[in-house]
Amino acid sequence: MGQRSFSQRMVIGIFLPVILLAALQSVAVKAQSVLDRSQDTYKMNNREPDPRFKADLLLIVAHDDDEADIAGYLARAIDQKRRVAIVWVNGTGQSFNGGRNLVGPERADSLAAIRVIEGLRAVAVLGITNAWNLGGSDNETQNLLESFEANDHGMTLGRVVRLVRLTRPEVIISWLPEFVTGENHADHQASGILAAEAFDLAGDPTAFPEQVSPATEPGTYANRTEGLRTWQPQKLYFFANATHEDFYAGKGPEYNVTDISPTRNISYADIARQSRAEHQTQYNPARHPPGSPRQGTPAPSPVQFILGKSLVGGSPTDDVFAGVVPGGIPYQRPPGYLAPRHVEPVMEMGDPWHYYYLFWQAHGLDSLLGLIPYEISITQGTYLSIPLIVDNPTDAAIDVNISVSAPQGWKVLPTPPAHIEAQVHRYYMRAQAAAPAEIRPDWQMFTVTAESGGKTIGTVPLRVQLARDSFRQ
């Protein structure tokens, strides 16, 4: 920097006192507005929530293309004047390392920056403007607990609860929180758990209370507490991209996507294709014009949902908005966790299945209990691990022997007998098997049995699909 010119010095000389005077006056006005209790701005907290963000339906999913799987339904809901908003939990996060680019050379964080905009463009085609990308990482695992570990479950939940309170939806839709073949992306399952947690927490003023506390000094620029209101959603639905669809029957509504949109005069499937075409780095529309069969095209099969729970009654197959009460409903407490009360030693399936079983009951998702047998996809030529939990409520030591029934061609690894000392009430074990090198078309059926003291203390069935490119277990 060189010396200032004469004219610059003149300008500074003339205007600096004026600027300083204005700044001092501004401080005085602000101080007065804070101290002047006759003009108390605290009452600004009583304004109505911003109506631009009210949604009828909030979609909570993992990645910023997950909406494509049900875009045919979202377009129909928007035709029916439903306001739809979206939360992408994992989005394409700060450490984006997954995915390809069919358009240009950009990869890693540059590709992440592109994917954020592709997501916004895709949902704009559907007529959705309110979409938030929380930017969590994209995790290549089937285990939702690893996804939570990578993305700070607590912090992410707080952010999702905030957006439920801001958008005040009657209906929340998310990925199925269950371990189902095909749905082998843990981030999907984790977003379903977050949606169910947020459904039950957004109406509870003791959960993330800073969000629902009135702003301390709303007349100033300071942002301390958030001024949101509690909100109780009414219905929770799930969808999945499983390799089999037998479990949907009777569990929720389904929507034909070949119907013609009265506002656009094309089918809902075609609207969904136009929306998905915006994800050009993943689905190049030049190579795959709308209507052409290609991998990733929304199938003309209906969009199917599973009713997780309804706080306003009705039957599972009713329309998504059937029974919804305008203006909201009071908070309804979920059942919460109840510790099991075993009196004898018992062996059960371990995590993440065990966690799901406890979670569904704690959150009143009875519709998911027994919906799908224990199942998993495993890449051929890799290892299957069957995690087990032995609970011993007695104070005596026990010995546990595990036996594994496996299909032909699998090599079961030996699981040594376990001596569980007295006072050890929980013990972790696992059975393992090496998968055959080739893909097989049928379910590979396993049964793990545990015996202790001459008695069977547990039997765990697991069916396995051998598949190419499954994420790690």
Please give the residue ranges that form the binding site for Zn ion (CB under 5 A). 62-63, 66
Q: Quote the DSSP letter at residue 126.
A: H
In the bound state with Zn ion, the residue whose beta carbon lies nearer, of 89 and 215, is 89
Provide, rounded to whole angstroms, the least separation between the CB of residue 173 and Zn ion: 14
| Both tokens assigned to 321 | 């908005």
In the bound state with Zn ion, the residue whose beta carbon lies nearer, of 56 and 66, is 66
Which residue has 């032995």 as its token pair? 390
| Both tokens assigned to 315 | 């039957």
Which residue number places its CB atom closest to Zn ion?
A: 63
Angstrom distance (rounded) from CA 75 to CA 73: 5
In the bound state with Zn ion, the residue whose beta carbon lies nearer, of 231 and 237, is 237
In the bound state with Zn ion, the residue whose beta carbon lies nearer, of 122 and 207, is 122
In the bound state with Zn ion, the residue whose beta carbon lies nearer, of 55 and 89, is 89
In the bound state with Zn ion, the residue whose beta carbon lies nearer, of 63 and 279, is 63
Query: Beta 418-420 vs 398-405: how paired, if at all?
Result: antiparallel
Provide, rounded to whole angstroms, the least separation between the CB of residue 193 and Zn ion: 15
CB 416 within 8 A of CB 432: no
CB 267 within 8 A of CB 104: no
Output the CA torsion 19→21→23→24 (10° steps).
160
Verify cis geometry, omega within 30 degrees of 0, for the bond prior to 49.
no
Long-range contacts of 292-300 (CB under 8 A, 24+ apart): 297/273, 298/68, 298/69, 298/71, 298/72, 298/257, 298/269, 298/272, 298/273, 300/257, 300/258, 300/269
Provide, rounded to whole angstroms, the least separation between the CB of residue 66 and Zn ion: 4
Angstrom distance (rounded) from CA 248 to CA 172: 18
CB 136 within 8 A of CB 89: yes
Angstrom distance (rounded) from CA 301 to CA 313: 28
Provide, rounded to whole angstroms, the least separation between the CB of residue 256 and Zn ion: 24
Provide, rounded to whole angstroms, the least separation between the CB of residue 65 and Zn ion: 6
Instruction: For residue 145, give the H/E element and its range.
Output: helix 144-150
Provide, rounded to whole angstroms, the least separation between the CB of residue 472 and Zn ion: 16
Which residue has 């009875």 as its token pair? 366
In the bound state with Zn ion, the residue whose beta carbon lies nearer, of 89 and 171, is 89
Provide, rounded to whole angstroms, the least separation between the CB of residue 98 and Zn ion: 10
Provide, rounded to whole angstroms, the least separation between the CB of residue 59 and Zn ion: 13
In the bound state with Zn ion, the residue whose beta carbon lies nearer, of 63 and 165, is 63
| Both tokens assigned to 433 | 């098997």
